């Protein structure tokens, strides 16, 4: 059984949940949707107490095979201090979300060493052509104890010619990662593989956030930095050619950690599923990159 809950923003269209339920039912899954999936309070999927209570319940419900955050938005930052992370980590249930769910992913890792997923939301469970890639990687990641995939580093941002590193895979939405710096919910990962993505941020803000991680010593402590998609970057009148490549190169010149771009992960419809907190290996050779991770929660029997 798949459980859907909404710990952050409300779903603007309930038809999204209906479509996801039909998609899963056609493949033999039963679906349980929490009250938060249909609730609204201001910009949130119900009051804080409802959202955090349902997150806790779904994340520890052993009758479920996995639990999925129906959407992102904003709201998890308000309740991070109200979650029983130890109980959730002990349940070993595959928990999936992205964007604002980054706050939970990182807090679970920081507070209890728990592993969870950055992956699809309710809108991605469909037969739409763009969703096939996402669904293939999602079910692959949650059903196999070791999962890996290849991708081509983006030519404009570059990558090392040869690389072979191992470490803890972690990260998520860049803005959410930066928002947790200096809090008990920011993991102290040394020798990790940090992945980052964002949406609707101008290039200068992306550079500023990357520099924040650099100045805080986070980037230098990693074995590699993986850059996913930075989509819908607004072009500002005073940029004068300053773009994502310029922002990333500014950071790369100041940071000794190898940077590999082109990870198919972000706010687009085509994205891989990544296990936050899992042990991983990243290799680059002959213009191709391969990322593999293991030790994450998986479907029963996976």
The one catalytic residue among 69, 179, 229, 267: 267
| 215 flagged as catalytic | no
CA distance 128 to 26: 14
| 197 flagged as catalytic | yes
DSSP-derived letter for residue 220 is G
32, 1 in Cβ contact below 8 A?
A: yes
The one catalytic residue among 116, 126, 137, 197: 197
How many C-beta atoms surround the C-beta of residue 200 within 10 A?
Answer: 12
CA distance 300 to 65: 7
Q: Across-strand partners of 147?
A: 293
Q: Strands 279-285, 288-294: parallel, antiparallel or unpaired by DSSP?
A: antiparallel
63, 139 in Cβ contact below 8 A?
A: no
Q: DSSP characters for 111-178?
A: HH---EEE---GGG-S--HHHHHHHHHHHHHHH-SEEEEEEPPPTTT---SSEEEEEEEEEEEHHHHH
Task: Give the residue from 121, 231, 223 showing the smallest Cα distance to 170.
Answer: 223
161, 284 in Cβ contact below 8 A?
A: yes
Q: From the CA atom positions of the chain, what is the Rg in Å? A: 18
| 8 flagged as catalytic | no
The one catalytic residue among 99, 116, 121, 298: 99
196, 218 in Cβ contact below 8 A?
A: no
For tokens 């040869």, the residue is: 162
CA distance 151 to 68: 25
Q: What are the residue numbers of the active site?
A: 99, 197, 267
């Amino acid at each position: 059984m798949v459980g859907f809950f909404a710990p952050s923003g409300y779903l603007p269209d309930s038809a999204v949940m209906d479509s996801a339920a039909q998609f899963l039912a056609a493949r033999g899954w039963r679906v349980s949707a929490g009250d938060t999936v249909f609730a609204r309070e201001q910009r949130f999927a119900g009051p804080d107490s409802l959202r955090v209570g349902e997150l806790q319940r779904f994340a520890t419900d052993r009758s479920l095979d996995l639990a999925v955050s129906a959407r992102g938005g904003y709201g998890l930052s308000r309740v991070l201090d109200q979650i029983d992370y130890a109980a959730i980590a002990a349940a070993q249930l595959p928990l999936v979300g992205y964007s604002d769910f980054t706050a939970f992913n990182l807090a679970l890792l920081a507070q209890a060493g728990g592993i969870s997923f950055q992956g699809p939301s309710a809108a991605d469970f469909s037969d739409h052509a763009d969703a096939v890639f996402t669904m293939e990687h999602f079910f692959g990641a949650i059903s196999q104890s070791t999962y890996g995939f290849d991708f081509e580093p983006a030519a404009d941002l570059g990558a090392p010619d040869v690389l072979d590193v191992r470490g803890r895979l972690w990260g998520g939405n860049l803005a959410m990662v930066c928002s947790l710096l200096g809090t008990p919910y920011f993991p102290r990962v040394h020798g990790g593989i940090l992945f980052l993505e964002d949406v609707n941020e101008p290039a200068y803000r992306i550079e500023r956030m990357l520099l924040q991680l650099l100045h805080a010593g986070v980037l230098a402590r990693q074995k590699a930095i993986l850059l996913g998609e930075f989509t819908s970057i607004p072009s500002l009148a005073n940029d004068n050619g300053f773009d994502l490549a310029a922002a990333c190169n500014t950071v790369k010149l100041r940071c000794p950690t190898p940077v590999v771009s082109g990870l198919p992960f972000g706010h687009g419809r085509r994205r891989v599923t990544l296990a936050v907190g899992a042990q991983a290996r990243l290799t680059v050779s002959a213009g191709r990159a391969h990322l593999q991770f293991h030790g994450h929660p998986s479907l029963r029997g996976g």
